[in-house]
A = this chain, B = another copy of it.
Amino acid sequence: MKPAQKGERTTLSAADWERAALDLIAEQGVQAMAIELLARRMGITKGSFYWHFSSRESLLDQALIRWEKHDVRNLKASLGEIDHPRDRLISFFRRVGKEKLTHEVFSELCAAAGHPHVEPVLERVAERRMKYLSLAFEEMGMEPDLARHQGRLIYSVYLGFLQLQRQRQTPSLSSEEFDAYIEHVINTLIPS
């Protein structure tokens, strides 16, 4: 057969399923990740799926692992390279809106906390992120306990923002209202 033209059939890999799964999760949430729907989207059938994966849960696990790795890289990239801790914290907030897919997935994962396979992921991710944030505050001269609290606080603000976003109650992501709010958050929570 022709080995890969327009919509030509080329053989799929497990990674393809995982990526498609993450796309669907980003759009409609964890619980909507149905394998037959995925199959239709990829122009294929279930038969393929159960060759690559043993069950729906296993796909979910693999997809989550993939996502988490990506998230770790993101964290290191966007926070690890900046040396001044204040800029690091600011960049953490500015990061909202960029890395769209990764972020939308995360938002849906938050909504699916409680799911046994999702919870541990969220736990690890939150732990990592809060550590990074707290560390930055320490480097700015805060005592460890204070820095830890401040890290948790600022991460909560971030999570709350995501929640409001899910409810369509954040000022549209690139308006002056939005910028003003971010400015306010930074001034309030990040010491100069």
Q: A-side interface residues toward B, CB under 8 Å?
A: 29, 31, 110-114, 119, 122-123, 126-127, 145-146, 149-150, 152-153, 155-164, 166-169, 180-181, 184-185, 188-189
State how many angstroms separate the Cβ of A176 from the closest Cβ of chain B: 11
Cβ contact within 8 Å between B163 and A123: no
| Docked pose: A140 CA to B45 CA in angstroms | 62
Among candidates B126, B160, B167, B181, residue contacting A119 with C-beta atoms closer than 8 Å: B167
Name the prevailing secondary structure of the A interface residues: helix
Please, which residue of chain B has its CB at the minimum distance from the CB of A146? B184
Contact in complex: A160, B167 (CB < 8 Å): no
Q: Closest residue to A170 on the B side, CB-wise?
A: B152
Known interface pairs A111-B114, A188-B189; 19 further A-B residue pairs with C-beta atoms within 8 A, sorted by A's residue number: A31-B31, A113-B166, A113-B167, A119-B168, A122-B167, A123-B168, A126-B167, A127-B169, A146-B184, A149-B184, A153-B181, A153-B185, A156-B163, A159-B159, A159-B160, A159-B164, A160-B160, A160-B163, A163-B163
A5 to B189, CA, bound (A): 58
What's the Cα separation between A146 and B183 when bound, in Å? 11
14 sampled A-B residue pairs with Cβ under 8 A: A119-B168, A123-B167, A123-B168, A126-B164, A145-B180, A149-B181, A149-B184, A149-B185, A153-B157, A153-B185, A155-B164, A157-B160, A162-B163, A188-B189
| B169 touching A126, Cβ below 8 Å | yes
Contacts of A161 in B (CB 8 A): 156, 160
* Nearest neighbor of A161 in chain B, beta-carbon distance: B156
Question: Closest Cβ of chain B: how far from A108's Cβ, in Å?
Answer: 8
